[in-house]
Copies of this chain bind each other. A is one copy, B any other.
Amino acid sequence: MVGGGQGAFIGGVHRMAARLDGCFDLVAGAFSSDPARAHASAAEIGISADRSYADYTEMAKAEAARADGIDAVSIVTPNHLHGPIAGAFLAQNISVICDKPLTATLEQAQSLLAVAEASDAHFFLTHNYTGYPMIRQARQMLAEDALGEIRIIEANYLQDWLSAVPTKENKQAKWRLDPAQSGGGAIGDIGTHAHNLACFVSGLRPTALSATLRSYVAGRIVDDDARITLEFEGGARGYIWASQVAIGNENNLTLAIYGAKGSLRWAQETPNILWFTEFGQAPQMITRGGGAANASAADVTRIPAGHPEGYLEAFATLYSEAATVIRSKPKGATIGIQAGLDGVRFVDACLRSSQDGSAWIDLS
């Protein structure tokens, strides 16, 4: 693992996700760009001293040289470092599991895509919300045309933790609010999840967008509220609202897809439920593990209906799927990298559109 030292959030998540299904053991890491913090974090996590690295370049080389070197590295640093770190490990033929977004800038993303596709190692991007069983259920239903022609895709991601200037030191807030490290505020941090989910479930890609990014908290230089309108191939329209100042919303990511025959609605905070309504019929509450769950949901379900699976299980599914690829595919494969590039392109287009008076940006 690179990143994820003391005070980090997503590093711990990746570690739990990697462990849950027993596919990975964490044996080495460069947990911080600050060497003292890196080694202290390693000790805390239980990594032996000889595999705690102060520097990711050193780690890539040393692990590649070991007979028992790592099979894959998880990258959980601020966004602007994803590209160079991934490059260093792919160059050593070590597979990469990278947190989203792919990179902080479009240029970095295109460059990383080229490197990853040329590599014999694998590359996986963790758009973690795609691991939820009911999201998989929805994707299969869309692929099977359960909704008819798609008309409207609504993907909202509402939080409230940045509603005011943080009152105490908050490592999470700090780098996210620095555009050089994050590449954007709410748009990059959570807007990309909404965009990704809309595309993942619908199977559609946007052809154009118009965005308005705003900042409601005085002194903030990145956006904390983003509104995007999208045109999708085939004529559907999409609407994304990502906000970090919507008080009363903790991590309220929702997806609703309206077609000519029916609709699907899902909310991340109650992830084991998917609402399906056929026009003129009673809405049905499809549950993970229940009688109406389909094969795609069942494939990524661990425990029976009514025993809630949550965020970590969805995340762990991506690790398990990565492990299956690493085990079974000899040549470099990728999961999610194209979606990752689309995500960075989305953020880039949103920033440009917003700076240009919400002008429409072509994405085709």
Q: B-contacting residues of A (Cβ < 8 Å)? A: 9, 12-13, 15-16, 19-22, 26, 45-46, 151-152, 159-161, 163-164, 212, 214, 216, 225, 227, 229, 237, 239, 241, 243, 245-252, 256, 258-263, 265, 268-272, 275-287, 289-292, 302-313
Query: With the chains together, A327 CA to B279 CA distance in Å?
Result: 40
Minimum CB–CB distance from A43 to chain B (whole Å) comes to: 14
Query: With the chains together, A275 CA to B19 CA distance in Å?
Result: 32
Majority secondary structure of chain A interface residues (helix, strand, loop or mixed): loop
Assess whether B287 is in contact with A250, with CB atoms less than 8 Å apart. Answer: yes
Query: With the chains together, A34 CA to B45 CA distance in Å?
Result: 38
Assess whether A260 is in contact with B305, with CB atoms less than 8 Å apart. Answer: no
Minimum CB–CB distance from A171 to chain B (whole Å) comes to: 13
Residue of B nearest to A16 (CB): B20
Partner of A229, one of B22, B212, B275: B212
Query: With the chains together, A152 CA to B248 CA distance in Å?
Result: 13
Cβ–Cβ < 8 Å partners of A250 in chain B: 287, 289-290, 304-306
Provide a sorted-by-A list of 10 A–B residue pairs whose CB atoms are within 8 angstroms: A15-B22, A151-B225, A216-B260, A246-B256, A248-B258, A251-B304, A282-B287, A284-B285, A303-B311, A312-B312
Residue of B nearest to A247 (CB): B263
Cβ–Cβ < 8 Å partners of A247 in chain B: 258-259, 261-263, 277-279
Cβ–Cβ < 8 Å partners of A45 in chain B: 22
Assess whether A277 is in contact with B260, with CB atoms less than 8 Å apart. Answer: no
Residue of B nearest to A224 (CB): B151
Cβ–Cβ < 8 Å partners of A259 in chain B: 247
Residue of B nearest to A357 (CB): B360
Query: With the chains together, A252 CA to B307 CA distance in Å?
Result: 9
Partner of A248, one of B12, B216, B265: B265
Assess whether A282 is in contact with B286, with CB atoms less than 8 Å apart. Answer: yes
Cβ–Cβ < 8 Å partners of A26 in chain B: 22
Residue of B nearest to A308 (CB): B310
The residue among A21, A151, A239, A289 with the most chain B CB atoms within 10 A of its own CB is A151
Cβ–Cβ < 8 Å partners of A225 in chain B: 151-152
Q: Knowing A164-B279, A306-B252 touch, does A152 contact B246 (C-beta < 8 A)?
A: yes
Residue of B nearest to A274 (CB): B282
Partner of A22, one of B21, B46, B265, B270: B46
Query: With the chains together, A91 CA to B250 CA distance in Å?
Result: 49
Cβ–Cβ < 8 Å partners of A252 in chain B: 306
Cβ–Cβ < 8 Å partners of A285 in chain B: 282-285
Query: With the chains together, A45 CA to B306 CA distance in Å?
Result: 25
Residue of B nearest to A132 (CB): B308
Q: Knowing A152-B225, A225-B152 touch, does A160 contact B304 (C-beta < 8 A)?
A: no
Cβ–Cβ < 8 Å partners of A152 in chain B: 216, 225, 243, 245-246
Known A-B contacts: A16-B22, A310-B310. Give 13 more (CB < 8 A).
A15-B22, A20-B20, A152-B245, A164-B260, A216-B260, A247-B263, A247-B277, A248-B263, A250-B305, A251-B307, A268-B308, A282-B285, A284-B285
Cβ–Cβ < 8 Å partners of A305 in chain B: 250-251
Minimum CB–CB distance from A41 to chain B (whole Å) comes to: 14
Query: With the chains together, A302 CA to B316 CA distance in Å?
Result: 15
Assess whether B279 is in contact with A290, with CB atoms less than 8 Å apart. Answer: no
Query: With the chains together, A99 CA to B259 CA distance in Å?
Result: 32
Query: With the chains together, A277 CA to B158 CA distance in Å?
Result: 14
